[in-house]
């Protein structure tokens, strides 16, 4: 049996090329922090997901201490754009709720990342901020 797998690239704000309720998984890696219209992007993703479809997003803060250490060992630099906006866990959860996602969990390393984020925000030490890794499901609304 051949796997039913394809990849599509489209403007995240609209996802015009993708039919409503036609995909099982949407993945966004390293791009969400660069987007200006977060709510519209999430609404488009919600629209194209099948019921029980999943959305996974990895949005790391490129200036955190871990990314800088790994990047330097690989011989790479880390950079931020002036327009980057890192959402907090609460902000991302609120946006997911607003567009209709019914369940959300944040990836396994969330506890450590959340603790470092909180310390970084409290102390204003940006290099401790890690970013987000939410996974959300589209479910039918309760009747």
Give this prediction's pTM: 0.69
Average pLDDT over residues 98-122: 68
> For residue 60, is it within any domain?
yes
> For residue 10, is it within any domain?
no
The tally of domains found in the chain comes to 1
Structural domain that includes position 59: 23-137
CATH, residue 41: 3.40.50.150
> For residue 87, is it within any domain?
yes
> For residue 73, is it within any domain?
yes
pLDDT higher for 85 or 27? 27
> For residue 31, is it within any domain?
yes
Residues 6+ apart with CB under 8 A from 104: 93, 96, 97, 134, 135, 136, 137
pLDDT in tens, 24-82: 989 888 788 888 889 999 999 999 999 989 998 877 665 555 555 666 677 766 665 65
Residues in the chain: 143
> For residue 5, is it within any domain?
no
> For residue 76, is it within any domain?
yes
């Amino acid at each position: 049996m051949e796997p039913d797998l394809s990849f599509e690239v489209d403007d995240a704000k609209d996802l015009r090329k993708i039919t409503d309720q036609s995909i099982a998984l949407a993945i966004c890696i390293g791009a969400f922090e660069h987007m200006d219209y977060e709510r519209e992007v999430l609404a488009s993703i919600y629209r194209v997901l099948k019921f029980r479809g999943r959305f996974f997003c990895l949005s790391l803060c490129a200036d955190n201490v871990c990314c800088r250490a790994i990047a330097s060992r690989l011989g790479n630099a880390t950079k931020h754009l002036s327009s980057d906006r890192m959402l907090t866990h609460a902000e991302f959860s609120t946006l997911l709720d607003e567009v209709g996602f019914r369940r959300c969990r944040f990836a396994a390393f969330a506890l450590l990342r959340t603790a470092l984020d909180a310390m970084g925000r409290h102390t204003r030490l940006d290099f401790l901020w890690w970013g987000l890794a939410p996974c959300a499901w589209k479910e039918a609304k309760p009747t």
